[in-house]
Structure 1
């Protein structure tokens, strides 16, 4: 209900070629408003509860934008505004004028009053009215409105659908698995809904093969595609239990066939995808899952979430973070607005969304014998390169199951030959010259000189440049040398996971010492034993350290700056790795690793 929230805005764009009659356009929109109460609906809080409020009349003003050129997604994005759900109407119309005979009509509709089928109805009725000069008699009469459906749903909920509730609660009994997909970025603490989308298609010849496979397995095209999507998610996450959300139209009665409103319900389908199972076996289980879910589809998703009492994670959606949707050719043709009017030609404009409600949403449709997919993704998690790779993997699995439906899915290899060569060979071409005569801290010093203002370390919301990191390390190194630390002397580094840890390692190396890393969360007697065994007399820390006898404890948080640069030895023991005894090691691999990590990729 946030006023600045735009991720629930549905955008439908139609490219119009020909002489657009603005008077007729406005007349058609007014007829739609009179016909559908949802298009006059807003939501108001009364006695602490949100209720549907239907206005008798509303004014819908056309936003005409004269582009004088070619319209693009940026024009549309700049025009889209968030809705105040307490003020009707919750939809807006923009007309972008490219020339006298070329326009783009954009519908911006809040999802609270519409769904995919309703969008198709809206476009179908709009074009029918336009073709019939705005005469309402051209449309079939409505016997009920959305409020009647809402009241019926409330009565049904009060009747308590015990069988449906029992099914869903049993399905999600026990621990509910979270899907952990390999992402390019860390998941933010709060969802931002930033997103993008990529489109791809499956050719007619392959679609025929998929339908044949579905027929052989006594399944549907939808089920085959849904099974492939689940196998991909299982392989990417290395998890056997997968939950994917699927929308259902919610239109189970002929009286609501032509009503605009939010009817859709979401079904969380929980599946077991084992690498030991064949595709045919997975598809067979998938058929049962989907059939059972559809049998109990009238149970509201929000009621299930409430019953399960799921701990809220503001960075995720409840129950699932991945969606799958597939529409038949007829519904998609209506929604796309593929119509030829007497004087106008209308066709869909492929607006690329900039929002994503879920981590991934695969939305498919059958169009002219082909399968056309849109893969919507959260840009907070995934890059375009990764998403294009996921599309290749989806194609690969589809091809494999068409060829070998009796093959165990664990044998399906996702990367193609080119990617396999890159992973195994090109990424492992590590042979090369590197400066063996330089120590780690000398390599670091050279990096500081080359790029002093570039970010060296990032930890959570903290970033530090090479110059800043070097000054902090030198500050601590000078203090260490003042305490007598020199070549091959051990300094215990007891720090939390932080920027201080990296600065402490560099400081000890710059001072000539060897660092002994110790986890501060270890029991005190364990830490004391490690210190005694290693013979460490100096402790460098950024946290509280219990009394350690006569050892010197240096807190990095209270060291003074500007002591000058410490003396640096050229080749000393770098680290002490404690196991059951103390081991001193020279670390040429560490020098090589630092060199490669800072070299251009």
Structure 2
């Protein structure tokens, strides 16, 4: 690199750059390939031209704002990169006419008019030129940045302009290799016709040639729009070429096909009861129920509901164990013209009562032993064992209540950002759109589909209704089987399952134990959170199922919104979430609801008949998340803003990037940490609380951080019990850390990255293992839980264990020659207890 001077500059000059470039942000451009450690740059070049008319127009516009052609180009490029990176604070590199590197730093706010930003940048440029005598290496040193050989240590993108006729001095010759390399370098040279010849020099190890071409085309579209309307906010300036925009909004984003939009779920199930009455509908253990038995029991239960005073259009709670009785009850609620509210029997009483009260449920179908958990004065408790005579009466046919496909089928609750759970009503039409004539999955009457998800998880609705609507067989898999890879594999073979859905977390654990576990399935579906690509690659290598499908979708858009048929995977490339399922529309938009180009990160918005109308009695939340569709679509169509950040790949598949807020996914469940924080802060000993999800390898767990009230002490086990009495198990932090103060950023916000990792301390009496089995289990627990050692009386769950880690214990025990089940780990939570039932295979 060439320095204009070699001597040390006055401290004031260095202080200027120290202040100007303090906390310099990295420009996070969306690369096509991962930035692997130690990767070798591969220089590539994309040439283009800036027409003479655009050059003269930009020169004139810049002159009106005390700038030059360089300032105009810098401003256009700055806006382009801000839109590409979703960043507002940007630093770009350049060089003066003697090839001395300089850094130009500025702020791009979406609402700033282009002309105003150009004027602001004219001052930035003048400021940089006024201090260009400071050697670049001294700037780097004073900032304390570690430099890589040949790479620019401060910036990732550079702009150069050579041969301009208006006095610009920021223009090292584009072929001057004295400058350090950047990921992207936009290099402009004045041409004889008044235009500019230009080249985008880029790191081919990170970016595809198609991406480079798209960048240059986007820059020209943006520049043309800015010259046409310099008073327009930069966030609203067109960026995408019309051809690309048509692809994004229509070819890739819209998926419409015929489906029976006027049909209801219970009608479709009833058709199979007429056509194939003796076909098995449900299997649970040794119990089976045919379609005729399911249909007739549902009819009698529906009549019972109406006889008990439940009116069509009401919400009806259903709190029953998973099995044939539950499914018949759900079908009955629909035939009575009502919408069901599924209640998990393992939920805390407070949670169940809240949901019954919040929906205004008219009744609840349950059993006598569960009524103690169901406190809801206005909901009539209908205990099935008290009405066995009515339920067993001769068939009388359906009650004949008129139901339309626009009526609610069920209400599902999700964690709420306000600290309270929120309910969403799903219509018959929304669910029929998901199940009938679908592209991601086609079930036939000879299919056998597993049902293992907790009933309040939105995928459970899919697991229940997909086979029943298709006339297929539904097999209930108990939790212990689902969490034990060996037991699950045996169940798949025993029941000859053809179709299975697993959350991503569970999918990863099963594959880790047996990559070939799914090879006998026709359809293996998984989703719910970011997937480990290496696990997917293992499945493909071990002999994949007929179809391996990666699914994505929020509850507010009826379970699944996008899908991707997985044919290949490698550990360095994310598995896409694909494109929209049938009769769904997706958009990737920026903060001003403008479409973003291919490869650029934006927020995912979903439209179509699967989108709910909003949240029950939550008008503010509804207005925040459900928006009028500004694009061409059916009248009154709504967009649901997911809060998920995604981008389109060059192949037209959506890739999941992360969240735009603090919402997290744990074992497929969507969790708003603020809801857990609200419960923690209700404890009298706690003044403030913060909850985050910490990743440990491919496993994630919730960690709570609490600040005690003045003069109070905290005890983690007691706090966990307090939370467990009010929230579902998957929302209870596995660890709680007490802090005197939360770490803060300079702007006063909490610095989540600085929160300390929880210490995993044992809670038992430290008793050492007494025999070989206990010693093996102690080693396994320590490895799985990430602790130095474990005593035989330490509790697995108090040390941070959960059901997914329990699967790891089972798998590692099997490799060590010990036979235990996931049920054993759940029921016997200390090594002393677990060792008493562990069976050695004799090896």
Shorter-chain TM band: 0.3 to 0.5
Larger relative CO (CA 8 A, sep 6+): 1 or 2? Answer: 1
How high is the TM-score relative to the length of structure 2? 0.35
Give 1 or 2: higher helix fraction.
Answer: 1
